[in-house]
Amino acid sequence: MENPTDLKRKPAKMKYDFKKIESKWRKKWEEKNVFKAKENPKRKKFYCLDMFPYPSGTGLHMGHAFVFTLGDIFARFKRMRGFNVLYPIGYDALGLPAENAAIKVGTHPEEYTKKSIANFMKQQKEMGWSYDWSRMINTSTPEYYKWDQWLFLQMMKKGIAYRKKAPVNFCKKCDTVLANEQVVNGKCWRHDDTEVEIKNLEQWFFKITDYAEELLKGLDKLDWPERAKTMQRNWIGKSEGAEILFEIEGKKYPVFTTRPDTLFGVTFLVVSAQHSELANFVKQNQKKDVEKFLKKIKSTKREDVEKLDKEGIFSGSFAIHPLTKEKIPVWIGNFVLAEYGSGIVMAVPGHDQRDFEFARKYKLPIKVVIKPETKEIEGIEMDEAYASGGKLVNSKNLTICFQKRRKSIL
């Protein structure tokens, strides 16, 4: 008996000569400029775009075939639906992979790129993607990157492009510095076997942080996958808090905290191991131990902070608590990011789990300043930090100020 589903899958009679048909229509589309886009204010436009490829020497891979097919389907669909469709293509041709590949095969990156693009174009045309080839761009041509440079000058004028010495990510294998966005789990995005090193170098930066709030707020209006929006929100990482001035060895330093209500619970401060003024905090008697410690720890990246084994060393310095005027020790830690806040955090082991673990490990005092309504807790007996709400204790005149606020938060 013939399985009924086989009916659907009966093979074709093979008259279908796809090679002949496909090359015929490729030529016709090109000859008649079928997909050329022209501005026409009377027609409703539709701009469909696939992220342009880096033209590698190995040509198109299946991932390209998939993503560009999705773009082409959409462009064709919108074109047939009556939109004036712009569907262009180009090549993200500059960059390290081309430079490295060229060196490897003993050619110049320019020749390598030219060849790769020619190969890409040929293969892309085979796929029947309906690009407007007349608009093609190649970022490695001076005609294109001239405008990168022009924009750079505009950014310099506006103070958006600037040069400064800062702790930066450096990949040995790439032999260059990297942006934060190019460091994945503390490793280089191109070399997942290479730990990124932190170096203090003078470099060019773009002041993208000027736009942080708008980058965050703008997401709400976009029709993007929710996951993508969440990832950007987390990357921008907004938090509201307070900057509190602590005096360390005669100089005042701002310390960022999201929990100013726990100020009376501060029992020590932790400075980032990459802090630019680290040397100012290290006392002679601790110098050797600190140097040993700094050698041992690896660079700290924001992605690993949560997973990291918290380690620290006493700097030898003390800070003055702004309210109690008590002397509190200043530690150096591997879990504080130099670039977050001021690179110094106040530790409240009674009410922050990370601080709690650190305090237990290095036998630092734990002070309770918020108690649950129903239970008594003491620093010495605690198994973990108490991070929830309750009433303020041991906080003198702050108590009144904060009670109202905490109630409204919790």
Q: Which is nearer to another protein, 216 or 377 (CB)?
A: 216
Q: Which is nearer to another protein, 54 or 362 (CB)?
A: 54
Please, what's the largest Cα pairwise distance for the chain? 94
Specify whether the CB–CB gap between 138 and 90 falls below 8 A. yes
Secondary structure element (H or E) that encloses residue 313, with its range: strand 312-320
Specify whether the CB–CB gap between 405 and 260 falls below 8 A. no
Specify whether the CB–CB gap between 263 and 244 falls below 8 A. yes
Strand, coil or helix: 328 = strand
Q: Which is nearer to another protein, 314 or 402 (CB)?
A: 402
Q: Which is nearer to another protein, 108 or 296 (CB)?
A: 108
Amino acid present at 244:
I
C-beta of 197: minimal distance to another protein in Å? 14
Strand, coil or helix: 109 = helix
Q: Which of 56, 57, 37, 40 is nearest to 48 (CA)?
A: 37
Strand, coil or helix: 201 = strand
C-beta of 106: minimal distance to another protein in Å? 10
Q: Which is nearer to another protein, 161 or 377 (CB)?
A: 161
Q: Which is nearer to another protein, 123 or 353 (CB)?
A: 123
Q: Which is nearer to another protein, 170 or 362 (CB)?
A: 170
DSSP β-ladder status, 251-257 and 268-272: unpaired
C-beta of 140: minimal distance to another protein in Å? 7
Q: Which is nearer to another protein, 282 or 338 (CB)?
A: 338
Tokens 């690896």, located at residue: 298
C-beta of 372: minimal distance to another protein in Å? 23
Amino acid present at 230:
T
Tokens 């290095």, located at residue: 362
C-beta of 238: minimal distance to another protein in Å? 5
Secondary structure element (H or E) that encloses residue 287, with its range: helix 287-296
C-beta of 210: minimal distance to another protein in Å? 9
Alpha-carbon gap, residue 271 to 334, rounded angstroms: 9
C-beta of 217: minimal distance to another protein in Å? 10
C-beta of 121: minimal distance to another protein in Å? 13
Specify whether the CB–CB gap between 248 and 283 falls below 8 A. no
